[in-house]
Amino acid sequence: MIRSSVTKKPSLFKWFFASFMIILLLSSCADEPRPEAFLTKVPLIPKPMSVTESGSSFLVKPNMKVYYQDESQMKLSEQIAGEWEKLTGLSMMVEAFKNGASNGIILDGTDAQDSEKYVCGIEENKILLKGSNAGIYRGWQNIKQMILLAQNDPKNKVYIPTGLIRDEPNFAYRGTMLDVSRHFFSLDEVKEHIDMIALYKINYLHLHLSDDQGWRIEIRSWPNLTKHGGSTEVGGGEGGFFTQEDYKELVDYAQGKYITIVPEIDMPGHTNAALASYPELNCDGKARELYTGMEVGFSTLCVKKELTYKFLDDVIGEIAAMSPGPYFHLGGDESHVTPKDEYLIFINKAVEIIKKHNKIPMGWDEFTAGDLTGNTVAQHWHTPENAVRGQSKGGKVVMSPAKRAYLDMKYDSTSSYGLHWAALIDVKSGYDWDPETYIPDLKKENILGIEAPLWSETVSNLDEAEYLIYPRLLGYSEVGWTAAKDRNWEDYSKRLAEHSGYLERLGVDFYRSPLIEWSSKDILD
Ligand code: ACM
C-alpha cells in the first residue's frame, strides 16, 4: 500500500520546525565566522603587482556560481566553472549576473581587450574578477593557486583570504617551448602540460614540430613527412605525430586557457626527417637515412631548388591555416652545412612566404642575418649581437639565453636528465637575471618577453620532462610577469618552497632543489 502522506496537511509544528531550520541554515551561511587570513602572505607565483588585504576569508562551498555580465564571457565562465569543479570536486553553475549575486565568482569586463591587466577582489561571499577575458583568466589563476595551497591541510575547509589584487604583466610574451621532435609527446601529455603552464600565467606555448629526428605535424600535401619522417625519435623509439585534427584540438585547448601556440618548422638546417622522407628535397636527389642520434648541424634543405619553396609554401600554408596566433617560427639555427650566401637567400624567401600567409616571421637569433623588414621576432638563445641586429632591422626580441633560460640544461652535475653545453642552471641562476638588462644594447620596448625552451634529447615523456621543467618554470613565469624591482631571490625562494605540497599531490615530478627549504603549509598557517 502506498501511504498517502502527500495529501496530509503538515501540522503547524512541522511548518514551524521547517521554517526554523531554513532560517538557521541561511543565517549560518551568512554569518559563519570566518578565520582571519592574510592575502599579502599568500605565496603567489608570479608575484602580483599590488596586493592589499582585508583580513577575513572566503569559504569554498558547494553550489557556487560563475556570474557573467556579457555574452562574450560565456565560454570563459564555463572554462572557469570546469576548472573549479576539477580542482574542488564541487559543482559550479554558470549564470547571468543579477543584482545582489553572491556565493561565487562575478566576472566584469573592460574595453581593453588586448591587455592582460586584471583586478581580483575577494570578499567573504564573492570573488570579483575584472579585466579583458584574458585578464580575467590570468586573475583566476591566483584563486586556483590559493585553493591548491589551502588544500595542503586536508582537515581544514578551503578558505581564500580576502583583499584586492591589482596586477598586469611586465612582458606581453611569456612562453615556454616543448621540443616534440627529438622525443614525441602525445596529445594528452601536451594538454597536461598546458594545464600546468596556465597556472603560472604563461601565455605562449612554442611547439618545435620538426627536426632531424622527427617530423611531427601532418602535412596533407606531403604525407610522407609524418608517415616516414615521424616514425622514430632519439634513441630509435617509435616516434609519432599530430594529425591536423590533433593539432587543431591542441590549439583550441590552449586557446581556452588564453595560451597561443607558436608553431615552429626548423629550416634550412635541422631537416633530416624531411630529407629522409622526400629524396627530391636533397640537392643530389637521394633520400637521407632516418636519424636517431643527438648531433646537430649536418642537414640542409636544397636552397637552389625551386621545389624547396613549393615545399615551404605548402608546409607553412597548411600550418598557418590552422594557427590563429600571430607567429610562425622558421627556426634558422645551426645551419652549419648551408653555405652562408645560400642561407641568406633561404631566409629571405622563407620570410616572404610566412608573410604571404599573414604570419609574423619568428626565428632563432641567427635568422636576423636575413634582409628583415617590418614586423619580425628574433628569439635570442646564443649570440647577443644577432639579437641587437634584429632590433636594428626594426624587429622585436624574445629572450631565451641558453645560459639562463634553457630548461634542458642540468641543474648541477648530478642531475638525472639534461645537457650542460651552455651552463648548469640551478633554480637561483634560472630566476636571478633580468631580461631588460641582459643584453645592454637592447631597448626595453623592443623586448617582447621571455621564453624557456625545453629541448627533449634526454627526456622521452612528460614525467621525465617535469624534472627539468619544475620548479624552474615557476621562476621563468615570474621573470616574465613581475617587474624586476619587485623580484628578489630571497623572497621568491620562500614562496617557491610552499608550492611543493600541491605539486606533489598533482603528481608533478619536480626537482627538489637543495637551494629551497621545501615546506607545504596550509594557507591559514
Ligand atoms: C638552439 O638551441 N639550437 C636554438
Opening angle at CA 148, ends 143 and 152, nearest 5: 140
pLDDT digits (tens, 9 = 90+) for 42-86: 999 999 999 999 999 999 999 999 999 999 999 999 999 999 999
**Spacing, Cα 401 to ligand 1 middle (Å):** 10
**Spacing, Cα 231 to ligand 1 middle (Å):** 23
Return the ligand 1 atom nearest residue 270 CA.
Answer: 3
Q: Write out the three cell numbers for 243.
A: 594529425
Cα–Cα distances in angstroms (integers) from residue 380 to residues 343, 391, 441, 453, in the given order:
18, 11, 13, 11
Return the ligand 1 atom nearest residue 453 CA.
Answer: 2
**Spacing, Cα 182 to ligand 1 middle (Å):** 13
Instruction: State mean pLDDT over 397-404.
Output: 98
Instruction: State mean pLDDT over 169-188.
Output: 98
Check pocket membership of 451 for ligand 1, CB cut-off 6 A: no
Check pocket membership of 467 for ligand 1, CB cut-off 6 A: no
- Residue pair 200/148 in contact by the 8 Å Cβ criterion: no
Q: What residue spans define the domains of the chain?
A: 14-167, 173-408+450-481
pLDDT surpasses 50 at 179: yes
Opening angle at CA 270, ends 265 and 275, nearest 5: 90
% of the chain with per-residue pLDDT over 90: 90
Q: How far apart are CA 164 and CA 39, in angstroms?
A: 8
- Residue pair 66/105 in contact by the 8 Å Cβ criterion: yes
Q: Write out the three cell numbers for 57.
A: 576569508
Measuring CA to CA, which residue among 471, 488, 523, 524 is closest to residue 145?
Answer: 523
pLDDT surpasses 50 at 490: yes
Give pLDDT, residue 11: 40
Check pocket membership of 173 for ligand 1, CB cut-off 6 A: no
- Residue pair 378/396 in contact by the 8 Å Cβ criterion: yes
**Spacing, Cα 422 to ligand 1 middle (Å):** 10
Ligand 1 binding pocket mutation candidate from 298, 335, 381, 419 (most atoms within 8 A of CB): 381
At residue 1, the 3 state secondary structure works out as coil
pLDDT digits (tens, 9 = 90+) for 337-360: 999 999 999 999 999 999 999 999
Q: How far apart are CA 469 and CA 456, in angstroms?
A: 11
Check pocket membership of 184 for ligand 1, CB cut-off 6 A: no
Give pLDDT, residue 6: 31
> What is the b/e burial string over 385-397, where b = at least 16 CB atoms within 10 angstroms of the residue's CB?
ebbbbbbeeebbb
Return the ligand 1 atom nearest residue 402 CA.
Answer: 2
Catalytic position from the list 334, 352, 436, 464: 334
DSSP state for residue 98 in the 8-state scheme:
-
Please confirm, yes or no, whether 334 is among the known catalytic residues. Answer: yes
pTM confidence score: 0.94
Check pocket membership of 426 for ligand 1, CB cut-off 6 A: no
Instruction: State mean pLDDT over 408-415.
Output: 97
Q: How far is CA 43 from the centre of its chain?
A: 20
Which residue(s) pair with 167 in the sheet? Answer: 118
Measuring CA to CA, which residue among 483, 518, 340, 403 is closest to residue 46?
Answer: 483
Give pLDDT, residue 39: 98
Return the ligand 1 atom nearest residue 364 CA.
Answer: 4
Architecture of the domain made up of 14-167: 2-Layer Sandwich (3.30)
Ligand 1 binding pocket mutation candidate from 266, 330, 333 (most atoms within 8 A of CB): 333
Ligand 1 binding pocket mutation candidate from 334, 368, 408, 409 (most atoms within 8 A of CB): 334
Where does residue 339 fall: left (phi above 0), alpha (psi -120 to 50 degrees), or beta otherwise? beta
Check pocket membership of 381 for ligand 1, CB cut-off 6 A: yes
DSSP H helical ranges for 114-199? 133-150, 187-198
Return the ligand 1 atom nearest residue 379 CA.
Answer: 4
| CATH number for the domain formed by residue range(s) 173-408+450-481 | 3.20.20.80
- Nearest residue (by CA) to ligand 1, atom 2, is 381
pLDDT band at 31 (very low <50, low <70, confident <90, very high): low
Check pocket membership of 365 for ligand 1, CB cut-off 6 A: no
Give pLDDT, residue 161: 97
Instruction: State mean pLDDT over 217-223.
Output: 99
Check pocket membership of 343 for ligand 1, CB cut-off 6 A: no
- Nearest residue (by CA) to ligand 1, atom 1, is 333
Instruction: State mean pLDDT over 428-455.
Output: 98
Crossing angle of helices 133-150 and 74-88, in 10° steps, is 10
Instruction: State mean pLDDT over 149-162.
Output: 90
pLDDT surpasses 60 at 20: no
Q: Write out the three cell numbers for 211.
A: 627536426
Check pocket membership of 333 for ligand 1, CB cut-off 6 A: yes
Ligand 1 binding pocket mutation candidate from 386, 409, 455, 458 (most atoms within 8 A of CB): 455
